[in-house]
Amino acid sequence: MKKISIIGSTGSIGRQSLDVVRSNTDKFKVTAISGNENIELLYEQTREFMPELVAIYSEKQALEFKKKIENDSSFKGVEIMTGLEGLNAVAADSDSSMVITAVVGMIGLVPTIEAIKKGKDIALSNKETMVAGGEIVSRLGARIIPVDSEHSAIFQCLNGEEMESVEKLILTASGGPFRGRTRKELLKVSKADALRHPNWEMGRKITIDSATLMNKGLEVIEARWLFGIDADRIDVIVHPQSIIHSMVEFKDKSVIAQMGNPDMRIPIQYALTYPQRKEGKGIESLDLLKAGRLTFEKPDCETFPCLKLAYEALRLGGTYAAALNAANEVLVEQFLNDMIGFYDIPHYIEKTLERHSSAKEPGIEDILAADTWAREFVKQQIAI
């Protein structure tokens, strides 16, 4: 029985992780979960999986949760914690051997580092951990098994290989809902258009990131730190069918690709069972005849400048990626609030990178400071 804890259990990856656990109750036990907004779902999850610890970020939400369970004796053994302390406890203190970092945003960085320090395996889904803190986290020497479909694909392609044999990594991108559109067509695009992703069911933040191609940019930065490979040896190719989840080209010019239906439960389960593979219960087989033609295109960095900006931040090093990520988080939120337009996102990220100055060999405090600075800078720029 493998004991796991999940930070961000009510989000898209958190829910699908619990789906995997539900289909494999003989293999996994959930010891701790955390959530914030969706108290109703967190309550249902607590009742079903009976973790020892539940963390709720906001005090107010935690009070509401406590009210729901206080008169029910079946919840008697469940401890409730709040704030960052609660998240850290779910990640680091419960007796799990693996933590799924499914929470979205910079809030995931510190709990992930705490878990690594306690020697836990990380099933990594929180992008910001590697985007903002990649250099530090890779120095900690953690065992990280990526959950994101692209990094899981590369991780699988590299299984049993040596990094010296690798020529380059090829990350595939679906191209998002606006693939093939021109800049002019996208000037007036709405959030509803941007939220309509063709292939993947995901949260709102990452769906907008897919529409701007920032999602792929963040994944390039993650790949750099996860696999220890320079930016110029990471390519991005648009593959609209999302059947090939990424590839590795080796020195001998052999290319290995990992394929499957676009179903996040596949990489989640792989991270949980690694190095073994178990029956994918309820997951559909890939039918290549049904999938038909697989096509590939060059990403359009003129229409989608965010991808280029992410490469730039990665090459600049230091805390530039942290600043890019923070600026993007604020801008996506404002786009979702109908406060700014689609192209304001790359515009203000570019400004942020221009104005940012990075510490040399940044520590965790420098990263958090860069994050705070970039958020304030962007808010000032867009006057909110």
* CB nearer to Mg ion: pick between 216 and 356: 216
For the CB of residue 124, give the shortest distance to Mg ion in the complex, in Å.
12
* CB nearer to Mg ion: pick between 150 and 300: 150
* CB nearer to Mg ion: pick between 45 and 125: 125
Measure the CA–CA gap between 224 and 142, rounded to whole angstroms.
15
* CB nearer to Mg ion: pick between 14 and 51: 14
Q: Total residues contacting Mg ion (rule CB under 5 A)?
A: 3
Residue of closest CB approach to Mg ion: 148
Residue 171 amino acid letter: L
For the CB of residue 218, give the shortest distance to Mg ion in the complex, in Å.
9
Cβ atoms 180, 213 nearer than 8 A:
no
Closest CA to 96 of 42, 174, 21, 177: 21
For the CB of residue 378, give the shortest distance to Mg ion in the complex, in Å.
24
For the CB of residue 91, give the shortest distance to Mg ion in the complex, in Å.
22
For the CB of residue 53, give the shortest distance to Mg ion in the complex, in Å.
29
* CB nearer to Mg ion: pick between 88 and 149: 149
For the CB of residue 206, give the shortest distance to Mg ion in the complex, in Å.
8
For the CB of residue 210, give the shortest distance to Mg ion in the complex, in Å.
8
| Site mask for Mg ion (CB under 5 A), range 137-176, x = bound | -----------xxx--------------------------
Measure the CA–CA gap between 270 and 255, rounded to whole angstroms.
21
Which region holds residue 241: left if phi is over 0, alpha if psi is between -120 and 50, else beta? alpha
Is residue 209 a contact point for Mg ion (CB under 5 A)? no
Segments in the chain forming alpha helices (H): 12-22, 39-49, 59-69, 83-88, 109-117, 127-140, 149-157, 183-186, 191-194, 204-212, 214-227, 265-273, 288-291, 305-316, 320-336, 344-355, 364-382
| CA distances to 34, 319, 368 from 360, in Å | 34, 8, 14
| CA distances to 106, 121, 221 from 325, in Å | 8, 25, 10
* CB nearer to Mg ion: pick between 199 and 381: 199
* CB nearer to Mg ion: pick between 90 and 173: 173
**Which residue ranges make up the site for Mg ion (CB under 5 A)?**
148-150
